[in-house]
Structure 1
Amino acid sequence: MKTPRQTMVTCYAATVLSWCLATLPAQAGAPVHGARAAGMNTAFTAVANDPSAILHNPAGITQLAGTRFYGGATLVLPSSSYRDPDGKTTDTRSQAFFPPHLFISRRLPSGYVSMGLGLYAPFGIGGRKWPDHGPTRYRSIESFIATVAINPTLAVKLASGWSLALGLDYMRALNQAENAVDQSALGAPDGRMEMEADGGGWGYNLGLLYRPGGAFSFGIAYRSGIKVDQKGNLKLKDIAPPLQGLFGGARYRTDVRTSVDFPALVDIGIAWRPASRWIIDVDAEWGGWSSFRKATLDLKDEVPAAGLVDSTVRQDWRDAWAYKTGVDYQVNARLSLRAGYAFLNTPVPEATLTPANPDADQHNLSLGLGWRDGPWAVDGFYNYGYFKKRRVDNAILTGDYRSGIHYLGLSLGWKH
């Protein structure tokens, strides 16, 4: 039988491993990178007809004459609930996030070469907050991720309707996680662990667009994986008195290092224009999420006697596909109406799913509209993501999860 101190060693080790599983990105297909594309549920690879093409398919900026600006933000409202095996339900706290986007494109005087620059959140800005004293607290109280990328792009219009593009990506990512530490074996109230790390990494992207001149167009976009090496710190608070001698007091802090291998992404799309006012696009997106095979956390100052040591944990995410379709109908010279649907397969296996990221297969529905007036354009959209019920029986936390997410976005465009 384990002594109370041995039990605490296990608890602190498990808490460190919770960090490795808590700081993973949201799905890349979130509709937060431009309201026009989001109104079509990001089925936009073969359309790519505004400056947000820099993200969706950079070859599309060859379609845009002159200089164009396109920017805005999206309100993101996530929610999750957990039901334990006894039937008790716990809900996340209300949160709101506002990932912004800004895209600039310019066609050079030759008419064949275009340049672009994008600033956006490629893997979203978001997280979850669970109650401080709920059943999820030892695995997650709060998790948060913020990504931001700057993406210069060069695109060339070739003969016979072909366009090619190459871009460079620099991305920064911030991860934060907080959870409680069970110290009941020592007759003490819960402790608290907080961790934060950030860093940057480089990648590239490619785009291909083919518009032969008829009713159809085809697009392919590739974004490389990006490895982000992160530095940060780990803090412990309210350490139980019997363990304070190991940590040098009731509080402890050490520097940490980790890395996150963000996945490569491939989008393939076909667009059909059955009439002059209609565009129908169908996309398939492959995400190389198997890059999340394991996570490693290196501590500058280990405390082996308390179980606080360098840690590696298996994640074993799998590659996943998303399927999208979107419609754009131009009512008149100024007004456009849009709608879309997407199905996203979850990359997260049951064995490593946690309250910090209770992902599941997802259905997304979107509605959007656009208004044009001279050089100005305004696009808006609403999207709801419904996550299928996820029943989990693993060593982390057994139970049922339900999640949903609302998106409401606005983009403003200008051309010269």
Structure 2
Amino acid sequence: MKLKAILPTKLSIAVAAALFSGQAMSAGFALNDHSATASGNALAGAAASRSDISFSFWNPALFTNAKGIELYGSGAWVMPEMDVTVNSASAPASFGGLPVSGANPSGVVDDSLVPSIYFAYPLSEKTVLGTSLNVPFGLSGKYGTDWPGRFHSAKTGVKDLSLSATLAHQLNQKWAIGASVQVHSGEVQLDSVIPDSPLMPTDKEGYGDLDADDVTYGFALGAMFEPVKGTRLGLGYRSEVDFDFEGDAKFTDVSPALGSLGANLGIDDAAISDSLSFPSVLTLSAEHELNDKLMLGVTAMRTGWGSLDEMRIKYEEGADGKAQNDTVLTFDFEDQWFYSAGLTYQMSEALTLRSGLAVDNSPAKDEYRSPRTPDGDRKWFSVGASYRLGSAGEITAAYTHVAIDDVSVVRDGSFPNGSTEDGARGELDADYETSADVISIAYNMSF
């Protein structure tokens, strides 16, 4: 009875285990690489800047920055490094609890390109219609099938692609407002290794993967206020995005003891569904022109990670007429703040220089950190520049180094609250050292 009670949880978790296995540039799995201009200041002043239309991601009112029909395209090349040192690992107690062999994984997190595109079309002197394409959330990573923690996770891919339509209006010289509606296309790919059952051994390990997707909607609101010339305050809000993922769980080389034979657990190919809420983002920013060449910007950004309290996976009946029990993955993320400050220096009419520092706090708690969430607090160090090419437009580049706190993943087979949802994956003790470098390039032109 113990094997039957534990294994559905173990195996269904194993399929989903890699959801948060990688590291993105921002805390959790948020991506904030939506503008090479903003990246040069470490997002300082992101919701209040008059620089260009790319700042509309954080505040839709900033589409009023358009100087006519305008196109802004940006790409961020994210180059993360993750070193994982496994101190010890063992199989679940129900599989004998023996040590798990394997080498430390390498190349866990892949380089990735984060694209952003903005287009503004003025409807009148004060009203602008805008559209944008962004990737607000995402990660990718692969531990492989040979590392000692392979029962916890093997491979992952998560992506949220957002298409927005925005209306922004300049009320008067002091106030601008804006609102957008968004269509979000979300995809999840999750793989993990499944241990061989000691009851009916096959001398090989199984493999499970989950593929699911959904299309849903969100919105954004924003306002910009300039109480005195040269001082701007901005507020932007992007809504929580609720996904109802649907897809398929597929298994290969799974021991018969875990399927229709043996324990009759229903571990076979089946349709799956899962509801997951990506967090809201509130951005508060200010810019102040210190003189005719130097400008100070600051930002405080609150991400509502508390919406990710848990992940629940439901399984339909497979070919054997059995359905796995629901899987509940506890994250217990906390809402967190991002803070940044930066300077912009107008060196000449054509050349603008930028720099910035930021602190980005992780939503993960120590007691729930796992290979799915090896997340640590971050510090950003950014520099950037823009060069105006006259009527040909403007080119912008930025470089950011992200220093991420070292963390340890210590799984002893149960959560602190006594839950057994983690226990059936076995024990794991591993240390993580992570950092990232990001190069962003953008081109902006008016027609």
State whether TM-score is above 0.5. yes
User: 1:314 maps to which residue?
Assistant: 330
Alpha-carbon shift at residue 270 of structure 1 (Å): 1.0
Aligned residue for 1:22, secondary structure, equals coil
**How far off is 1:116 after superposition?**
0.8
Match of 1:239 among 224, 242, 254: 254
Cα contact 2:258–2:267 (8 A) shared by 1 = no
The alignment covers a number of residue pairs equal to 409
Distance in 1, matches of 2:443 and 2:4, equals 54
1:334-378 per-position Cα deviation (integer Å, ceiling 9, x unaligned): 112211111111111223322133111111111211111123111
Structure-1 separation of matches of 2:29 and 2:311: 19
Q: Which amino acid aligns with 1:377?
A: E
Q: How does 1:4-403 map to 2 (within 5 A)?
A: 7=3, 10-20=6-16, 22-24=18-20, 27=28, 30-43=31-44, 44-86=46-88, 89-93=104-108, 95-109=110-124, 111-124=125-138, 126-183=139-196, 185-186=198-199, 187=201, 188-243=203-258, 245-246=260-261, 252-301=268-317, 308-375=324-391, 376-394=393-411, 395=413, 397-403=428-434
Q: How far did residue 166 of structure 1 move? A: 0.9
* Cα distance in 2 for residues equivalent to 1:17 and 1:48: 47
Question: Match of 1:117, as an amino acid?
Answer: T
- Which moved further from structure 2: 22-31 or 203-212? 22-31
Tell me how far apart the structure 1 counterparts of residues 256 and 12 of structure 2 sit (CA, whole Å). Answer: 20
397-406 vs 328-337, which moves further: 397-406
SS in 2 for 1:72: strand
Distance 1:342 1:155 in 2: 28
Closer, same or farther in 2 for the Cα pair 1:244/1:142, shift >3 Å?
A: same
Structure 1 residue 380 displacement after superposition? 1.2
- Are the counterparts in 2 of residues 81 and 401 from structure 1 also a CA contact under 8 Å? yes
Counterpart amino acid of 1:258?
D
Alpha carbons of structure 1 residues 157 and 19: separation in structure 2 relative to 1, 3 Å: farther
Offset of residue 285 of structure 1: 0.5
Matched to 1:407, the amino acid is V
Aligned partners of 2:174 and 2:29: how far apart in 1?
29
2:416 corresponding residue in structure 1: none
- 2-structure distance, mates of 1:335, 1:316: 46
Cα distance between partner residues in 1 of 2:294 and 2:237: 27
- Using the size of structure 1 for normalisation, the TM-score is 0.90
Q: Does structure 1 retain, via aligned residues, the 8 Å contact 2:69–2:120?
A: yes
Query: Contact between 1:9 and 1:307, CA under 8 Å: does it hold in 2?
Result: no
Q: Is the contact between residue 118 and residue 151 of structure 1 (CA under 8 Å) also seen in structure 2?
A: yes
Contact 2:331–2:368 at 8 Å: present in 1 too? yes
1:74-114 C-alpha deviation (Å, 9 max, x unpaired): 212223222233598544446221121110112333x2211
Q: Could you tell me whether the CA contact under 8 Å between 2:61 and 2:177 is conserved in 1?
A: yes
2: CA distance between counterparts of 1:357 and 1:288?
Answer: 17
**Is the CA contact (8 Å cut-off) linking 1:11 and 1:181 kept in structure 2?**
no
SS in 2 for 1:413: strand
Matches within 5 A, 1:401-416: 401-416=432-447
Question: Are 1:235 and 1:253, in contact at CA under 8 Å, matched by a contact in 2?
Answer: yes
Which secondary structure state, in structure 2, belongs to the residue aligned with residue 295 of structure 1? strand
Deviation at 1:17, TM superposition (A): 2.0
* Aligned-partner residue type, residue 12 of structure 2: V
Residue 204 of structure 1 aligns with an amino acid whose one-letter code is F
SS in 2 for 1:185: coil
Q: Please tell me whether the aligned partners of residues 20 and 295 of structure 1 are also in contact (alpha carbons under 8 angstroms).
A: no
| CA distance, structure 1, for counterparts of residue 213 and residue 50 of structure 2 | 32
User: Can you give the 5+ residue segments of structure 2 that lack an aligned partner in the other structure?
Assistant: 90-102, 414-421, 423-427
**What SS class does the counterpart of residue 48 from structure 2 fall into?**
coil
1:336 alignment partner AA: T
User: Is contact 2:130-2:165 (8 Å) kept?
Assistant: yes
- Ranges in structure 1 where 5+ consecutive residues have no aligned partner: none
Query: Match for 1:368: what amino acid?
Result: G
Per the alignment, residue 97 of structure 2 pairs with: none
Cα RMSD over matched residues?
2.7
Q: For residues 237-280 of structure 1, what are the alpha-carbon distances to aligned partners after superposition, in whole Å with 9 as ceiling and x for unaligned? A: 111244454499x9942111112101111010111111222222
| Structure 1 residue ranges (4+ consecutive) displaced by more than 6 angstroms after TM superposition | 303-307
Are the aligned partners of 1:67 and 1:107 in contact in 2 as well (CA < 8 Å)? yes
Which stretch shifts more, 377-386 or 301-310?
A: 301-310
Assess if the C-alpha contact under 8 Å between 1:181 and 1:191 holds in 2. yes
Q: Give the SS at the match of 2:362.
A: coil
Cα distance in structure 2, aligned partners of 1:189 and 1:228? 36
CA distance in 1, matches of 2:29, 2:235: 16
Q: Does the residue aligned with 1:61 lie in a helix, a strand or coil?
A: helix
Contact 2:370/2:410 (<8 A) preserved: no
Asked if 1 retains the 8 angstrom alpha-carbon contact of 2:306 and 2:333, the reply is yes
Q: Percent identity?
A: 22
Instruction: Report the 3-state secondary structure (helix = DSSP H, G, I; strand = E; otherwise coil) of the residue aligned with 1:17.
Output: helix
